[in-house]
């Protein structure tokens, strides 16, 4: 899994590419937590490059959302591929997170 982080205006865009599973999720957690510790509270997760997400990946997303909520932050997901979108829908996570179709749409709401 590859994680790319960039700042666009006041929003931190985190692009995730590949597979998020029990092996790769801890690296994602570490990278994103470092950004939150530095004061970032407005995040957009661009998942257009994410091919697969396991329960460990879902747990990472939930943990991230809780940390941001404690800091009165905001998390928006975007670009979910069909297989990833289905996992979010079946797990009920699609009702927990704000999900946009594209990065552009997610950025408009910020």
Q: Domain holding 58: CATH number?
A: 3.30.750.24
Pick from 12, 16, 64: nearest CA to 42: 12
Q: What is the pLDDT of residue 107?
A: 92
110 sits in which H/E element: none
Q: What is the pLDDT of residue 108?
A: 86
Domain range for residue 8? 2-108
Q: What is the pLDDT of residue 31?
A: 97
Pick from 19, 61, 12: nearest CA to 41: 12
Mean pLDDT by 10 residues, the chain (110 residues): 95 98 97 96 97 97 95 96 96 95 88
Q: What is the pLDDT of residue 72?
A: 95
The number of folded domains in the chain is 1
Q: What is the pLDDT of residue 89?
A: 96
Tokens at residue 33, please? 């937590």
Q: What is the pLDDT of residue 53?
A: 97
Q: What is the 3-state secondary structure (H, E, C) of 36-99?
A: HHCCCCEEEEEEEEEEEECHHHHHHHHHHHHHHHHCCCEEEEECCCHHHHHHHHHHCHHHCCEE
């Amino acid at each position: 899994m590859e994680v790319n982080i960039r700042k666009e205006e006041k929003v931190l865009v985190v692009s995730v590419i590949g597979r998020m599973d029990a092996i790769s999720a801890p690296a994602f957690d570490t990278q994103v937590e470092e950004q939150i510790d530095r004061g970032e509270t407005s995040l957009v997760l661009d998942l257009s490059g994410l091919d697969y997400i396991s329960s460990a990946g879902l747990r990472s997303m939930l943990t991230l959302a809780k940390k941001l909520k404690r800091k009165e932050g905001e998390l928006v997901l975007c670009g979910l591929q069909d297989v990833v979108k289905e996992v979010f829908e079946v797990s009920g996570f699609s009702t927990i997170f704000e999900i946009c179709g594209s990065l552009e749409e997610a950025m408009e709401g910020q």
